[in-house]
Amino acid sequence: MFPASFGYHAARSVEEALDLLTKYGEDAKLLAGGHSLIPAMKLRLASPRYLIDLGTIPGLGGIRIDGDALTIGALTVHADIVSSDLVRRRVPALSDAAGVIGDVQVRNRGTIGGSVAHADPAADFPVILTALNASFVAVSPSGSRVISVDGFFVDFYTTALAPNEVLTEIRVPLPPSSAGTAYHKMAHPASGYVVVSAGALVNRDSSGRCASARIAIGGLGSGPLRAQATEAALQGQRLTDDVMAAAAAKAAEGSDPADDVYASAEYKSHMATVLARRAIEQAAQRATS
Ligand SMILES: Cc1cc2nc3c(=O)[nH]c(=O)nc-3n(C[C@H](O)[C@H](O)[C@H](O)COP(=O)(O)OP(=O)(O)OC[C@H]3O[C@@H](n4cnc5c(N)ncnc54)[C@H](O)[C@@H]3O)c2cc1C
């Protein structure tokens, strides 16, 4: 399939991209790696009259430590997150997640900003960024704002970003050395997208008990789900196998997954408990190593 014809603008700065967005309004779409937008255009699910390419703007990619956060430019491709020593050392769950996205071509072109802005319910980054309590920097003609992950993913393919905003940065609070992170995924065998996935951030106190935990599950609804019953069951507990298994068994509580041709709702709920347990155990183990 071929997309409908469109005009193309290679933006040279965020300001120019914002001016073009203001000029064209609903007729325009931002283009990052194109690995979600172009397929949607080929299927005529999206037919923007203008594409505003962000890939030509210098400085929108890259990974650095900024104060107490790991800051990732929106145009950073998945492969750069996989291969970053900094990410692997400080927030290994982000490497885990980036490394299981699609295939090598997708990881070389797709961007973290495009992934979260697209908000596919079967995407990997929204889940792990929820567990990591990330925030998102959005710039519009009236200035910039920071959006917390807990209010960012609004519905299927819908985020809190306004149509005239460009996402420029993702900020991940650096976990303390007493904390570990992990991400586990059951991938669809045909598409590679998430059937169910789980991300975990587990922080231990000096006695080895769980000081705090954030657990997120993907694949059970319109976006990432905080497994709050699991988090509560870990809080203050010694992280024994029994405690982690009992907490993980609550991972699907409060969700209402749908049956689909590949997996029933019951199977997805069960896999959420299995993957949550793997993620919690690995995060707890990384917290001590
Ligand atoms: C074969 C295949 C397999 C895949 N498998 C997986 C998988 O297993 N897991 C997974 O998570 N993903 C998967 N993907 C999706 C992939 O990760 C995409 O790269 C990603 O979802 C979108 O990133 P992009 O840079 O390509 O964005 P684009 O396609 O360029 O844009 C996507 C949307 O985000 C908007 N947008 C992009 N950047 C910004 C920005 N900075 N500010 C505001 N809006 C913006 C665009 O306007 C558009 O609406 C797969 C894709 C393909 C083609």
pLDDT digits (tens, 9 = 90+) for 104-132: 999 999 999 999 999 999 999 999 999 99
Question: In which band, very low, low, confident or very high, does the pLDDT at 289 lie, cut at 50, 70 and 90?
Answer: low
Bridge partners (DSSP) listed for residue 198: 184, 217
Question: In which band, very low, low, confident or very high, does the pLDDT at 1 lie, cut at 50, 70 and 90?
Answer: confident
Probe target for ligand 1 pocket from 47, 100, 115, with the most ligand atoms within 8 Å of CB: 115
Q: Looking at the predicted structure, is the pLDDT value of residue 59 above 90?
A: yes
Residue nearest atom 9 of ligand 1, based on CA coordinates: 101
Confirm or reject: Cβ of 223 under 6 Å from ligand 1: no
Distance CA(108)–CA(277), nearest Å, equals: 30
| pLDDT at residue 132, rounded to an integer | 98
